[in-house]
Amino acid sequence: MSVTTPSAAAPAKAASENHDERLRQVSRLKRLLSRPELGSISGAILVFLFFAIVAGDSGMFAADGVLNWTTVSAQLGIIGIGACMLMIGGEFDLSIGSMIGFAGMMIAIPAVYWDWPVWLALMFAFSGALAIGFTNGFIVVKTGLPSFIVSLAFLFILRGLTIALSILFTNRTIVGGVHDRAEGDWLAAAFGGEIGGWLFAWLANIGLIGTYPNGDPLVSGIPMVIVWWMLLAIVCSWVLMRTKYGNWIFATGGDAKAAKNVGVPTDRVKISLFMFTAFCATVLAACQVLEFGSAAADRGLLKEFEAIIAAVIGGALLTGGYGSVVGACFGALIFGVVQMGINFAGFNSDWFRVFLGAMLLVAVLFNNYIRKRVTEAH
């Protein structure tokens, strides 16, 4: 009796047919279009090409010029990351800018007027900021009030407290003298120092970057504000894309009620994100205070809107549940390049706000179009 052996190709064909029946193949183009950072990366490339043409010989892309617009980008990028994470979680925080000024005073006043060591003043500022972020988030999740309204209230509360308390304790709205107190402090260097000085000295010695008349390199090191930006970008991208907590953030912003029904602790997620935005604002405040040696009551003014703009340009949706930390970083990079590039190119600086508003509108329209295309494709 003969036994018929099925060919090896038959199971493979059957498996292929089953695969085709159950799964829809998505083209690489559609996968690319579904990436939230696509718009900001494309925008950054266009901005770089534009200023390479109009300001390429102005020193904008020399070592010191690159440091200038990278530092501006980093200052916005730090708070832009916090705003992006919160927006993905479905909420807004309009008090970020006021928190920068308030946290700066929480560092400077104890250090200069109360003779606290700078490391203790820094810990005091971070503790106070986290407590305020917790309060902000707690009110939102427990009352059901829109975060726009709650954080708007905190915007005015914190800005008023910053001015009132600084006048009460120091009789002024600008507190200087932090550099003297920070000298030799073990924690101050983490926010106000530089790294990589040896590298730039070597680059100057071999003629790759310019030097001052005395031989010192034009760039003495990478400021810690840039280091913090890169560190937060890497950690937050990993958290969003590789951890359960990142999935919780997307689920909470996409549909909080459905996420709660499947066991996601949506309230804790939102409160933690409000605390994180406060943390990011305090990081920027600490970098500014220890770089400039002073705190000012009006520091951080309107920064909350710039942070949200960076997040939106980076692909974050105003409705939540969608966004990218990488995109927000490119949004901040566009901001920094344009702000400094306008000066390098010799344009009137009044056009910067016009460009910023136009970029916001274009980003929202582009993100909305892409999301509709991707949704229809699936």
**Could you tell me if residue 55 is inside a domain?**
yes
Q: Print burial letters for 118-129: b (CB count within 10 Å at least 16), e (below 16).
A: beebbebbbebb
**Is residue 163 situated within a structural domain?**
yes
According to the model, what pLDDT value does residue 25 have? 57
Q: Is residue 10 part of a domain?
A: no
pLDDT at res. 26: 55
Q: Burial, 247: exposed, middle or buried (Cβ in 10 Å; 0-12, 13-18, 19+)?
A: middle
pLDDT of 34? 65
Strand residue runs (E) in 128-231: 174-176, 194-195, 222-223
Please check whether residue 239 lies inside any domain of the structure: yes
Is residue 21 assigned to a domain?
Answer: no
pLDDT for residue 2: 46
15 assigned to some structural domain? no
Q: Is the dihedral of CA 140, 282, 65, 209 positive or negative?
A: negative
9 lies in a domain? Answer: no
Are 276 and 82 contacting, i.e. CB atoms less than 8 angstroms apart?
yes
In the chain, the amino acid numbered 324 is S
Spatial distance between the Cα atoms of 57 and 294, rounded to a whole number of angstroms:
35
Between the alpha carbon of residue 312 and those of residues 76, 240, 251, the distances in Å are 13, 17, 19
What contacts 370, CB < 8 A, 6 or more positions away? 33, 34, 38, 39
Does residue 152 belong to any structural domain of this protein? yes
Note down the domain range covering 362: 39-377
pLDDT in tens, the chain (378 residues): 444 444 444 444 444 444 444 445 556 656 666 677 787 888 888 889 989 999 888 889 988 999 999 999 999 999 999 999 999 999 999 999 999 999 999 999 999 999 999 999 999 999 999 999 999 999 999 999 999 999 999 999 999 999 999 999 999 999 999 999 999 899 999 999 899 999 999 998 888 888 888 888 989 999 999 999 999 999 999 999 999 999 999 999 999 999 999 999 999 999 999 999 999 999 999 999 999 999 999 999 989 999 999 999 888 888 899 889 999 999 999 999 998 999 888 888 778 888 878 877 887 777 777 666 655 555
d(CA 234, CA 364): 25
What distance in Å separates the CA atoms of residue 355 and residue 362, rounded to the nearest whole number? 10
CA atoms within 13 A on the CB side of 10: 3
What's the CATH code of the domain at 124?
1.10.3470
| Total number of domains in the chain | 1
